[in-house]
Amino acid sequence: MPIQVVPYTAEWVPAVLAFNDRLHATGTHWGWYGDPVDAWLPARDRKTWREHWLAIEDGALVRGAYALKPHEWSIRGEPRLVVDWQGPVTEGLIDRRYNTLGLRLLREMLKRHPLLYSWGHGGLEQPMLQMLEKLGWLLHRTPFLLRVLHPVRFLRRNRLLRDTPTRRLALDLAAWSGAGSVGIRALHAARSIGKPRTAPAQASAFESFDAWADDLWERCAPLYAAIACRDAATMNTLLPPGGWPHGIKLRVERDGRTLGWSVVLDTQMQDEARFGDLRVGSVVDCLAAPDDAEAVVGASLRFLRGRGVDVAISNQSHPSWIDGFRAHGFEAVAGRRVFAASPALRDALAPFEEAQRGLHLTNMDGHGPMGL
């Protein structure tokens, strides 16, 4: 029987677990969700939701899976349903008979939702990105933003840079001598030179988005060429009180006027592949007029610093937000995330040279702040 693509429902849980067991038996860490009810967006919403699909062979065996996150965007003021994809994970990882299944599932996604994209992947050297480029997809590189707040802890506890005995020794010496702290602080100070900063704004935590957030959305949406809907109802769906991703929501104000909001995480890592045992603060979502981005970044950074995080990070695409982070000393590591847009989405954004100056993406526009 040919492979069929079907929605992931409760009846398929045993087959998904068996699929995961086959993958894990070969040493790969890949697999699929063991619960068909999405932990992030468990119910379909009017403007954003998640759906999971399975590739079934012989009516019984799971050979692959993927997830889609439709979300209403505003593209030059017009509402469009734009869809982030996760996966596909297939048995092609361990069995060459299924090597082409990933490409077939990608085509299935495009049939369902032509305005398809993904944001992540790492550098352009990734095989998936090279395949997408050959298929006519748009690939746009964006930076990873990093600010070290406690240099000694960073030097001693990060894992990415301490990957050899020689590097571990060098970083320990830099931490012990104080040279590392001086160098890191000088680097961050240099990054802020020439970047204008406005008067400080104040950040206060809140539980739910309300009418003020709708007012902000109506004011800000026309200022972006392409942006996912961030009205109050949609944000409360993405960030329900007590639900994943457990972000701290901050309303940023100056002199009684709401400038914007941000969502931050404060995570104590445990032997994480990049951050080791560092305490990581991350800005995973944000909204303000581009001219107010720097003020929102500054208020968010002061909030995270006050909580005692070792490093602050973010992923951003809009030039004003990237400049706002740089104004507060963040290092912009070029090209660490790639926005990959399907041919139909590329056409909807054309001319992209213009649209990229107004494209607003954060972690919440992908499959959430996974790993943070």
User: Do 4-113 and 145-334 show the same overall fold?
Assistant: yes
- In whole angstroms, what is the distance from residue 171 CA to residue 180 CA? 8
Task: Specify the amino acid at residue 290.
Answer: P
Average predicted confidence (pLDDT) for the chain? 92
- In whole angstroms, what is the distance from residue 150 CA to residue 191 CA? 17
Confidence of residue 366 (pLDDT cuts 50, 70, 90): confident
Cis peptide before 245 (omega within 30 of 0): yes
- pLDDT reported for residue 83: 97
pLDDT (tens digit per residue) in 321-359: 999 999 999 999 887 789 999 999 999 999 999 999 999
Residue 191's φ and ψ, nearest 5 degrees, are -65, -25
- pLDDT reported for residue 336: 79
Q: How far is CA 178 from CA 148, 152, 171, 184, 280, in A?
A: 15, 8, 11, 10, 22
Measured N-to-C along each axis, helices 179-192 and 319-327 cross at an angle, to the nearest 10 degrees, of: 130
Q: Which of 50-64, 163-177, 293-307 has the lowest mean pLDDT?
A: 163-177
- pLDDT reported for residue 315: 95
- pLDDT reported for residue 25: 93
pLDDT (tens digit per residue) in 206-259: 999 999 999 999 999 999 999 999 999 999 999 988 888 889 999 999 999 999
The enclosing H or E element of 285 equals: strand 279-288
Q: Which residues sit opposite 62 in a β-bridge?
A: 56
pLDDT at residue 121 greater than cutoff 80: no
Rounded to two decimals, the pTM is 0.93
CB neighbours of 249 closer than 8 A, spacing ≥ 6? 205, 206, 207, 209, 239, 261, 262, 263
pLDDT at residue 125 greater than cutoff 70: no
Count CA within 13 A, CB hemisphere, residue 181: 11
- pLDDT reported for residue 124: 63
User: Once rounded to an integer, what is the mean pLDDT over residues 118-131?
Assistant: 76
| Percent with pLDDT over 70 in the chain | 99
pLDDT (tens digit per residue) in 30-59: 999 999 998 898 877 788 999 999 999 999
pLDDT at residue 13 greater than cutoff 70: yes
SS3 of 336, please? strand
Cis peptide before 88 (omega within 30 of 0): yes
**Dihedral, CA of residue 289, residue 290, residue 292 and residue 297, to nearest 10:** 120
- pLDDT reported for residue 194: 79
Q: Report residue 106 as tokens.
A: 């990608």
- pLDDT reported for residue 180: 81
Q: Report residue 125 as tokens.
A: 């050297």
pLDDT at residue 365 greater than cutoff 70: yes
- pLDDT reported for residue 242: 82
| Domain segments of the chain as ranges | 4-113, 145-334
- pLDDT reported for residue 234: 95
User: Once rounded to an integer, what is the mean pLDDT over residues 113-142?
Assistant: 85
Instruction: Check: CB of residue 337 under 8 Å from CB of residue 119.
Output: yes
- pLDDT reported for residue 280: 96
Q: Domain 4-113's class? A: alpha beta
- pLDDT reported for residue 122: 67
Domain 145-334 is found in CATH 3.40.640.10: no
pLDDT (tens digit per residue) in 171-215: 888 888 888 888 888 888 888 887 888 889 999 999 999 999 999
Q: Which long-range contacts (CB under 8 A, 24 or more apart) does 103-109 make?
A: 103/131, 104/3, 104/55, 105/5, 105/53, 105/55, 105/64, 105/66, 108/5, 108/53, 109/66, 109/68, 109/83, 109/85
- pLDDT reported for residue 189: 86
